[in-house]
Chain A
Amino acid sequence: MSERQIQLEVLRYNPETDSEPRYQSYSVPCLNEWVVLDALNYVKDNLDPTLSYRWSCHMAVCGSCGMMINGEPKLACKAFIHEYTDQIRVDPLANFPIERDLVTSVEDFITKLASVKPYLIPKSDQPVSAGEFKQTPAELKKFKQYTLCINCMLCYAACPQYGLVPEFLGPAAISMAHRYNQDSRDGGRDERQEVIASDEGVWECSFVGACSEVCPKHVDPAGALQQVKVASTIDWYKEHLMPWMKK
């Protein structure tokens, strides 16, 4: 296991003492198999206990440690040191307000996620005692990919539309609505449509596709959003050109 001395440039910001963020450099002896998160932990334990960042699972499933690594949205626990040169720049997740150091504000995302009704609105009521809803493997596969979102918000950091128009619901929230819309057990699409087929919803997306490129779980939010657009367009045509088709 080889060791390398890495210069870690970390954006620091403490609202109580700083008027604006500044970079601070740390020299960290890193094992080649380390991830950037390990380097940050080294800093926290050995060099500077005042550095703040979020992390937990260290296996890319809890979604806590999203940050910009050399300008790219990444999970710090899945950004391998061996893929970088000896100089690594770490910024808080782009497009989100910085609370402190690498900690950004999550509230906007949570509010948006909640607004799309990201829960099953069953087609038909069935008591638990009647057993499970049947769902074939094919029906499951239709939406499975969109269930894999870990809410890490990397897609929002990659999305220029979100950066320019903060009201945009954004990739993860709309993908989650799509996930439930595609679920054979769900009948709540009409309720969600009011939110996601709005100006701040899917039509704000111009299909840059960056969200899908940075998604650590290959959810492909960009694909989900285009599917929502296609379905919403079909809705519009049905409503305006074929009003008799309306339910």
Chain B
Amino acid sequence: MNKPYVRSLSKTGWFLTQPRYKRYMAREVTCLFIFAYTFLLIWGLKRLAEGPDAFQGFLNALHSPLGVLFNLAVLIAAVYHSTSWFNVTPQAMPIMRGEEFVPGNIIVGAHYAVWAVVSLIVLILGV
């Protein structure tokens, strides 16, 4: 007599059903940009191996409006991806000091601080 009714989640459209699922998908989708950027780097390496002219062509392409746009899009995606992970690190890696947990904003803040320092070093080395 029991006849449990099973409601199944749409395999393809489930992430559209709730705002929090959309936010999750946005976070996950940003990694595709980073994925694409690695191809760009590999392509650059290939061009470098082909000689100075080829590499100069690669650099020129990067400076084209399309190249700048792509870099900008990847930067935005990477920042979103990184910050969304920074913000959940207190959950994934809680730290105890004595009897208390270190407050989440300190852990998150530390990540941003390290990020800023690393960026600065890269910038200085690059110049």
The digit string for A147-168, where 1 denotes a CB below 8 A from any CB of B, is 0000000000010100110000
From residue A11, how far is it (CB to closest CB) to chain B in Å?
10
Q: Which residues in B have their C-beta under 8 angstroms from that of A105?
A: 4
Is B4 a contact of A209 with CB atoms below 8 Å?
Answer: no
Is A98 a contact of B7 with CB atoms below 8 Å?
Answer: yes
Binds B, one of A13-21, A50-58, A120-128, A183-191: A13-21
The digit string for A206-236, where 1 denotes a CB below 8 A from any CB of B, is 1111101100000010110011011000000
Interface residues of B in 19-52 (CB under 8 A from A): 20-21, 24, 28
Binds A, one of B58-66, B72-80, B91-99, B111-119: B91-99
B6 in contact (CB, < 8 A): yes
From residue A211, how far is it (CB to closest CB) to chain B in Å?
10
Contacts A138-B96, A160-B9 known; A209 to B2 CB distance under 8 Å?
Answer: no
Q: Which residues in A have their C-beta under 8 angstroms from that of B6?
A: 97-98
A-B pairs with beta carbons under 8 A, tally: 78
| A65 to B21 CA separation, bound complex (whole angstroms) | 24
Is A98 a contact of B11 with CB atoms below 8 Å?
Answer: no
Is A164 a contact of B91 with CB atoms below 8 Å?
Answer: no
| A63 to B83 CA separation, bound complex (whole angstroms) | 34
Is B91 a contact of A97 with CB atoms below 8 Å?
Answer: no
A44 in contact (CB, < 8 A): no
Is B99 a contact of A138 with CB atoms below 8 Å?
Answer: yes
Interface-centre pick from B4, B8, B15, B93 (highest chain A CB count, 10 A): B4
Q: Which residues in A have their C-beta under 8 angstroms from that of B18?
A: 71, 210
Q: Which residues in B have their C-beta under 8 angstroms from that of A210?
A: 18, 20-21, 24
**Chain B, residue nearest A207 (CB):** B88
From residue B19, how far is it (CB to closest CB) to chain A in Å?
10
Q: What number of B residues sit within 8 Å (CB to CB) of A?
A: 28
Contact with B99, one of A21, A141, A160 (Cβ below 8 angstroms): A141
Interface-centre pick from A16, A137, A160, A210 (highest chain B CB count, 10 A): A160
Is B20 a contact of A212 with CB atoms below 8 Å?
Answer: no
Q: Which residues in B have their C-beta under 8 angstroms from that of A222?
A: 88, 91
Interface residues of A in 59-97 (CB under 8 A from B): 71, 94-95, 97
A99 in contact (CB, < 8 A): yes
Is B96 a contact of A142 with CB atoms below 8 Å?
Answer: yes
Contact with B4, one of A95, A98, A137, A158 (Cβ below 8 angstroms): A98
Interface-centre pick from A97, A137, A229 (highest chain B CB count, 10 A): A97
Q: Which residues in B have their C-beta under 8 angstroms from that of A95?
A: 7, 9
Interface-centre pick from B5, B6, B24 (highest chain A CB count, 10 A): B5
Q: Which residues in B have their C-beta under 8 angstroms from that of A213?
A: 20
Q: Which 6 A-B pairs have the closest CB atoms?
A: A223-B91, A226-B92, A97-B4, A163-B9, A15-B3, A98-B5
Binding site for B on A (CB under 8 A): 13, 15-16, 20-21, 71, 94-95, 97-99, 105, 136-138, 141-142, 158, 160, 163-164, 206-210, 212-213, 220, 222-223, 226-227, 229-230
| Known A105-B4, A223-B94; further 14 A-B contacts with Cβ < 8 A | A99-B4, A138-B96, A138-B98, A138-B99, A141-B99, A142-B96, A163-B14, A164-B9, A210-B20, A210-B24, A220-B91, A223-B88, A227-B91, A229-B92
Binding site for A on B (CB under 8 A): 1-9, 11, 14-15, 18, 20-21, 24, 28, 88, 90-94, 96, 98-101
